[in-house]
Amino acid sequence: MNEHISTRVDSPHAPVHAGSGDLYVTMGAQLQDPDRPTFRRLADDHLGWLRKVLVAPAGMGAARHMLTDTGTVILDGPPGSGRTSVSRVLLREYDQGTGVFHELLPDEQDELSLSNPALVGTGDQLLLDLSAATAVQWAAARADLSALRKAVHEQHAHLVVVMPYGHPLDPDLQHYRINIDPPDGLEVFRRHLRFHGVAYEPDPTVTAFLAESRPMREIADFADLVRRAREAAADEGFAQWCTTARKARDDRRAETARLVAELREGPQRALLITVAMLHGAHADVIHRAAQLLLHTLKFLPDEQSVLEGKDLAERLAEIPAGTGPDGHVRFTELDYDAAVRAHFWDHMPDLRQPMGTWVVHTVESDDPNVTRALRNSLVARLAEQYLRTGRGERLASLAEDWSTTTTTRTTSQARLEAAVHALTCGLNDPAHGRNFRHWIYLWCAQRQLRGEFAQVLVQVCADVIAASHPDQALFRLYHLARREQGTTRALQALCDLVATSSRLRRRLLDRLARSPFSAAELRIFLSACDPVPLTAPHDNGSTLIEENGARESLTIGWRAVLNDLSHAEWHPYAERWLHSAAELGHRGDPLLDLLVAAADRCGGHRGTAFAELYASARAAERSAPHSAARATATTDLLLQKISTAQDLGPSAAPLSTASPGGTAP
């Protein structure tokens, strides 16, 4: 029920280039993980969770009917009413597998204007969240909404607009406006408790908390605090859990400052920081991580026998924390760890740089108690401090540094996963997400990438950005794919993304057609022009290859392929087109027409291109997966089309790749 909803990844697996020419980067193999979640599953999982915890506010039913009847709804309502959550749940209900979820950001890099029909694909679910827009931004969006609604209607898509509260709406748009009123706070609280498996009981602490008008996100956070209080003290009962949760909301800055002032010894403070950063970890992890922190800070403790020093239980009692029956360490006060983290970050700035070093060394631990979930929570807690204090750029640089191999260290899988998670935290932060998307664009498109950072960017683009901003992911992966060398990971991620949407494939083909084709871009083109999705009918019965714009992009691309690559390089892709044409029968004619049209534009290479196409058709007959007769008929039809293009009669002799001068005999 959060007004700021973002995709969460729980288990994810620089100098500026100022010269000319392409930059090539080599990516390692450490991040290969068949179990890591895909961007589509991440988005589905998050929206599924949101649907379970959402209490339908007044107006949601009317919004659902409006979206069904017109394909568009404009949500209005006060901040904290759950408007954004409602918008995402509504769009999930119209996900029929024919389009993608797309959060529109018209003023960001590589985002089309709202009036551009290419913004909308068949069956897409579009969210335009302008709840925090300025008057100028809202006025600009209103001017384009009519064109956007027209494209949505034509593509059988669905659009939800969240308008800024209290701003005007044009008369012709008033019909689509639905007011969202906050749902009952107690029902929201109970729904979240039920999701956490906590039974609700009437309690004065809850009554007092809900007596004030609260945003939905605060109620959800309070329910989560109650859940955590139960986990810390299951035997205390609901009333005490609520009291503990309410106390955890208090400002603890003064209390934390007093404790730190009392703990004057380095090992004491190191243990305090360690428990705060690894809260809930096993005692063995806490002990070793505290020692590692002292080593990172170059602190030299007095030599003392193991038997003479304080044991861990005594040291934990000083901070105050303790080890539970499960062997895991926690503070005795709920959410005390957050207050400790904030205190040291704010009041000991010299700790910030070594903390990054300590975190990445900790995630590389081979201790079996250092699980992936623990590594992710440690990175997230560090990222929280950078983002809370407005130092997002330093967090981004830290992720890059973690991905870089030096003469004294290699880049482990744990380091790369930590870098992915750090960038994910930045991308999902409402205040910093835009900056992180911009920095990632600069890395992908312009900067020389060091070490294994390119593969980190591939995963972040494919599994995080693509979940809600597929166009931005598309072009970032495109830049990575055209620059990669020695691997095809970015290219594969790019192909996986365009496979989810004809609109994205259309945008990629258009981008390629407007670029001077390098060898890398020709490889991207050949991978992106798979004949199966190009000839798959949309809901209206048309196909992508029959669209004028896509057809022109494909013709330009194939012309560059026939002109610039050897026959051996492009033959496997042409063979796939010829096999598809044979399988489709007369519906495969557009594939043959396009190949012939591309060869016809090859200028002085025209005759050779025709001859090589004919040779590919003959070779395709021998490898045809279906009827040999169909393959032969396809070759004959191709020859007829070539003859027509050359103004030759139907009885023209077969073409030969050995024809002198590169012309047909």
**pLDDT over threshold 50, residue 332:** yes
How many other C-beta atoms are found inside a 10 Å radius of the C-beta of residue 258?
A: 9
Q: Could you report the per-residue pLDDT of 57-96, keeping only the tens digit for each?
A: 999 999 999 999 999 999 999 999 999 999 999 998 887 7
Would you call the peptide bond into 531 cis, given omega within 30 degrees of 0 as the criterion? no
Q: How much is the pLDDT for 550?
A: 96
Statement: residue 660 has pLDDT above 60: no
Q: Inform me whether the pLDDT recorded for 140 exceeds 60.
A: yes
Which residues form the domain of 236?
185-248
Residue 38 lies in a domain: no
Interior angle at CA 544, CA 542 and CA 550, nearest 5: 135
**316 part of a folded domain:** yes
pLDDT at 357: 95
In the predicted structure, residue 310 carries a pLDDT above the cut 90: no
Which CATH number covers residue 168? 3.40.50.300
Do residues 209 and 296 share a domain? no
Contact assessment for residue 77 and residue 181, using Cβ atoms and an 8 Å cutoff: yes
Closest-CA residue to 161 (of 137, 187, 182, 186): 137
Residue 423 lies in a domain: no
- Asked whether residue 10 carries a pLDDT value surpassing 80, the answer given is no
- Judged against a pLDDT cut of 90, whether residue 36 lies above it is answered with no
User: Is residue 409 assigned to a domain?
Assistant: no
Domain assignment present for residue 424? The answer is: no
Q: What is the mean pLDDT of residues 251-258?
A: 90
The answer to whether residue 505 sits within a structural domain is yes
Domain termination site, one of 248, 263, 292: 248
Q: Are 66 and 159 in contact (CB under 8 A)?
A: no
Average pLDDT over residues 429-439: 95
| Cα 227 off chain centre by | 29
DSSP per residue, 468-527 = H-HHHHHHHHHHHHHHB-S--HHHHHHHHHHTT-HHHHHHHHHHHHTSPPPHHHHHHHHH
- Write out the two tokens for 412: 């482990």
How far is CA 143 from each of CA 67, 254, 313, 482, rounded to the nearest angstrom?
21, 51, 65, 37
Which residues on adjacent β-strands are paired with residue 73?
160
The identity of residue 660, as a single letter, is: P
**In angstroms, rounded to a whole number, what is the distance separating the alpha carbons of residues 554 and 85?**
40
- Residue (of 87, 108, 155, 129) closest to 473 by Cα position: 108
**Residue 33, pLDDT score:** 52
Helices 453-460 and 413-428, interaxial angle, to 10°? Answer: 40
Helix (H) and strand (E) counts in the chain:
30, 7
> What domain count does the chain have?
4
Q: Do 578 and 547 sit in the same domain of this protein?
A: yes
Q: How confident is the model at residue 540 (pLDDT cuts 50, 70, 90)?
A: low
The pLDDT of 426-443, averaged and rounded, is 96
Same domain, 199 and 259: no
Do 241 and 267 have their domain in common?
A: no
Report CA torsion sign: 139, 141, 147, 152: negative
pLDDT at 99: 82
Residues 244 and 335 in one domain: no
Which pLDDT belongs to residue 631? 92
Same domain, 217 and 340: no
pLDDT over 80 at 118, yes or no: yes
Spatial neighbors of 500 by CB under 8 A, at least 6 apart, are: 40, 100, 470
260, 310: one domain: yes
Is 507 in the same domain as 523? yes
Average pLDDT value over all residues in the chain: 88
- In this structure, are 590 and 461 located in the same domain? yes
Q: Which of 195, 228, 248 is the last residue of a domain?
A: 248
What pLDDT is stored for residue 51 in this prediction? 86
Q: What is the pLDDT of residue 46?
A: 72
pLDDT tens digit string along 198-247? 999 999 999 999 999 899 999 999 999 999 999 888 889 999 999 999 99
Residues 6+ apart with CB under 8 A from 417: 12, 13, 31, 363, 372, 375, 376
User: What pLDDT sits at residue 406?
Assistant: 67
Q: What is the mean pLDDT of residues 244-271?
A: 92
* Least confident interval from 116-130, 288-302, 511-525: 288-302
Tell me the pLDDT tens digit for each residue of 466-511.
998 999 999 999 999 999 988 999 999 999 999 999 999 999 999 9
Tell me, what's the pLDDT at 35?
46
Q: Could you tell me if residue 26 is inside a domain?
A: no
With 70 as the cut, is the pLDDT of residue 659 above it?
no
Position 304 scores a pLDDT of 62
Q: Shortest CA distance to 470 belongs to which of 71, 95, 36, 120?
A: 120
Least confidently predicted of 234-248, 377-391, 410-424, 646-660: 646-660
CA dihedral 49, 53, 54, 55 (to 10 degrees): 160
Q: What is the pLDDT of residue 94?
A: 83
Report whether pLDDT(658) > 50. no
- Nearby residues of 237 by Cβ (< 8 Å), 6 or more positions away: none
Angle (CA) 383 385 390, round 5°: 95
Whether 382 shows a pLDDT value over 70: the answer reads: yes
Residue 323 lies inside a defined structural domain of this protein: yes
Helix (H) or strand (E) holding 593: helix 589-600
Clarify whether residues 129 and 214 are in a common domain. Answer: no
In percent, how much of the chain has pLDDT > 70?
A: 88
pLDDT over 90 at 541, yes or no: no
Question: From CA 221, how far away is CA 86, in angstroms rounded?
Answer: 18
Domain boundary among 136, 158, 179: 179
User: Do 450 and 583 belong together in one domain?
Assistant: yes
Burial environment of residue 15 by CB neighbours within 10 A (0 to 12, 13 to 18, 19 or more): exposed
26-30, 176-180, 550-554: the lowest-pLDDT one = 26-30
Q: What is the pLDDT of residue 664?
A: 39
Please tell me the predicted confidence (pLDDT) of residue 625.
Answer: 85
**Least confident range of 136-140, 579-583, 623-627, 638-642:** 623-627
A 10 A CB-CB count for 107 gives 12
The pLDDT of 2-23, averaged and rounded, is 33
Whether residue 314 is found in the same domain as residue 438? no
